[in-house]
Structure 1
C-alpha cells in the first residue's frame, strides 16, 4: 500500500469567489424550503427530504487498527450508540416510483474530543450516497445543479414520474455500453434498488486525524444479498418504507464502516468531488462495524417526530474529521440553515442526542 498523504491546511484551495457561490447555494436552499413548507404546512429537509427508515443500533470501533487508521473517532476501540437514516435525495416528498439515488446518514453518539466549529453535543455524523462520485466537482457546479433541482421542486408529480421513467431508460442504455451518469441518476434515472443492500460512499474527502480519507458503508450480513434487488413502486407511493420494514423486521442488519486513505493529491483531488479515488491505489479498509437488531424501520407518526428533532451534517463532529473541499465547505452553512428553518417553522427544536434513549 502507498504511503498516505498527511493532512495540512493548505490541501484546501478555496476559489476566490467561493463565498459568493455559497451565498447563491443558500438562496436556492431557501427557495426549496419556502416552496415545500408552504405546500406541506410543515418544513422538511431541503435535500433528502423523504426518509424511508430509521435504524437504531451500536457501532463498534475495531481494536488493533494500524496507526494510520487509528485516528479521530477510531483512535481507540469502543462502542457507541448509533442511528441510521435512509432517504432519497430530492428536497420534496415524492412518490417512490420517481427513482432517485439512495442516501444514508449515520449519527454516532457519545463521541468525545475537540469539536468542529459550531458543532454542538457529542456526535459524529457521516453523510453517504450509493454512488462513489458527487454529481458536481465544486461549489459552482453544485449551484448550477441545485438551481435545476429548485426549479423542479413543487412541479407536477405526474411529469416527474414520466421524466424518471425516461431517465432510467437513458441510464440503462448508457450502462449497456459501459458508461454511467451521476447527473442522470440525480435527476431521476437511478435504478430502484433496495436501500438496505446498497454500498454507500461519502463522495467527498475528510480529514482523518493526521491523514485524509473518504468513507464507505458496506452491508455485510444477510442484507447484502439484496444488493441488486429492485423495488416495484407502481401504485405504491411509500414502497421503499414498506420494503425497509419487511427486511429490517425480519433480520436487522450489519454494516462495515470503511476508510480509503488519500495517497496522491493529484490523482485523488481534494477540490473535485466528482473524481472517484482509485481503490487499486488505496483500497477501503474496515475500521468499525454497525449492528442493528431486528426492528421496525418506519412507523407513522413516531418516525416523523424523530426525524423532525434530528439534523445530520458532515460538520457535526470532531475536528479530527473536518470536512474538506469546496462542496463540503458549501454544505456547512446550507445544512445549518436547513436545520434552523425546520426547527423554527415546525416549532420543534433540532437537537443533538446524547444517546438512543434521547430519541
Structure 2
C-alpha cells in the first residue's frame, strides 16, 4: 500500500500560463539566433550539429523502472504503473559549437523513454517516446522567452570564434565563480559563459528546470545519481588541461568497467506564487515540496561513445520535451519557445547531413 504524500499538490489551471502579446515575434528572434549558430557551425564542420548542446560526452542505453505503489498524485503519465522501459541517455554541454572541454560550461542530460503509451502531444504523433531534456541546475538561466532569445543572440555572435580566447576566459570565469560560491552565492550567467567548475559529469544531478504537466498536476523532474560509484563523483575534480575530450574520456573509462544507477524524482507544485509557470528562473522551494522518487534508471557497463553510435544518435535522433504524451505537456513560455526551435534545428540537421531523423 502506498504512503500518502506529505504535501497537497496544486492542480494545473490553464490560467497559470500567460502568453505575451509579442511572444510569436520573440520566438522568431530566438529561432533566428539558433539558426545562425547552426549554420555557422555546419559551414565550419561541413556537418550539422545541434544548435545547442552540440558536444556529446556519453551515449548510454539503460532501463527505467517505475517504482511500485506510488501515491496517486505521483502515479501519472509514464509513471502511472510499475513497469520497465528502455531508455537512451545523451550527456552533453550547452554550447552550439564543439569546444575543448577546458571551456567549462553547464551540462545537459537528455533521456528518451521508449514505447510509452498515451495520447500524444501535437507534432509527435509519429513517435512513441517520452523525452525529458535536462540541465544540471534546478532553474533556467532565463526567466522568459524574451530573455532566452537575448542570451542566444549573444551566443550566436561568439559561436566558433577565438577558441583560445574562450579557454582563457573560461579559466578567469571559473575563478570568479569560486569567489561567488565561497560567499554563499552562485551565478548561472558566469557558468553559462564558461565558469562552470571542472568536475566529473557523472556526479551531476540534472533537472528539467522548467515545468511540465504531471497528469492533472504540474511539476519539475530531476535525475539524481544514487549508486555509490556515481555519488563518489559528485563535485570530483577533472583535469581538462590538454585533454580536449576529458569529459567523454571520463565517461567512457567509467562505463568500461562498471554500471550506474540514478533515481528519477518529481517535485509537484503546491503554490502558483512561489512555483510559477511563466518565470523559468525561479527555483521552486524544496522545503515546501521536496523531490520524491518515482523511478530508477540503471545502465550496465558498456561502450559509452563511438563514432558509429554518435552517427546513430547525434545525427539520427531528436531529444525534445515536445516528443511525449499529453500527460507531460511542457508548460510556460520557455517551453513553448522550444517547440519550433527544436523542430527547425532537427530539420536542418537532417537536410544538411542527408541523414533522416528517425527518433
SS of the residue corresponding to residue 194 of structure 2 reads: helix
Structure 1 segments (4+ residues) deviating >2 Å: 300-306
Find the aligned partners of 2:259 and 2:95 in 1 and give their Cα distance. 26
1:269 corresponds to which of 276, 284, 292: 276
Tell whether the 8 Å contact from 2:175 to 2:195 is kept in structure 1 after alignment.
yes
Aligned to 2:245: 238
SS of the residue corresponding to residue 188 of structure 1 reads: coil
- Superposed CA offset, 1:278-335 (max 9, x none): 1100000011111100011112343234321011011010000000110000000000
Aligned to 1:213: 219
Bigger mean CA deviation after superposition, 37-46 or 68-77: 68-77
SS of the residue corresponding to residue 48 of structure 2 reads: coil
TM-score computed with the length of structure 2 as normaliser? 0.97
Aligned to 2:108: 103
Aligned to 1:123: 129
Aligned to 1:345: 352
Aligned to 1:356: none
**Alpha-carbon shift at residue 62 of structure 1 (Å):** 1.1
Bigger mean CA deviation after superposition, 36-45 or 57-66: 57-66
RMSD: 0.9
SS of the residue corresponding to residue 212 of structure 1 reads: strand
SS of the residue corresponding to residue 152 of structure 2 reads: helix
Find the aligned partners of 1:168 and 1:292 in 2 and give their Cα distance. 31
Bigger mean CA deviation after superposition, 87-96 or 127-136: 127-136
Aligned to 2:79: 74
Q: Does 1:52 align with 2:57?
A: yes
**Alpha-carbon shift at residue 247 of structure 1 (Å):** 0.8
Tell whether the 8 Å contact from 2:65 to 2:297 is kept in structure 1 after alignment.
yes
Tell whether the 8 Å contact from 1:92 to 1:153 is kept in structure 2 after alignment.
yes
SS of the residue corresponding to residue 223 of structure 2 reads: strand
2:163 corresponds to which of 154, 157, 166: 157
Q: Does 1:329 align with 2:336?
A: yes
2:295 corresponds to which of 262, 268, 288: 288
Aligned to 1:24: 29
- Superposed CA offset, 1:3-37 (max 9, x none): 11101222111111101100100100110111000
Tell whether the 8 Å contact from 1:192 to 1:230 is kept in structure 2 after alignment.
yes
Count of residues in Structure 1 that have an aligned counterpart in Structure 2: 352
Aligned to 1:8: 13
Find the aligned partners of 2:209 and 2:310 in 1 and give their Cα distance. 27
Aligned to 2:314: 307
Tell whether the 8 Å contact from 2:93 to 2:105 is kept in structure 1 after alignment.
yes
Aligned to 2:3: none
Q: Does 1:253 align with 2:289?
A: no
Bigger mean CA deviation after superposition, 229-238 or 277-286: 229-238
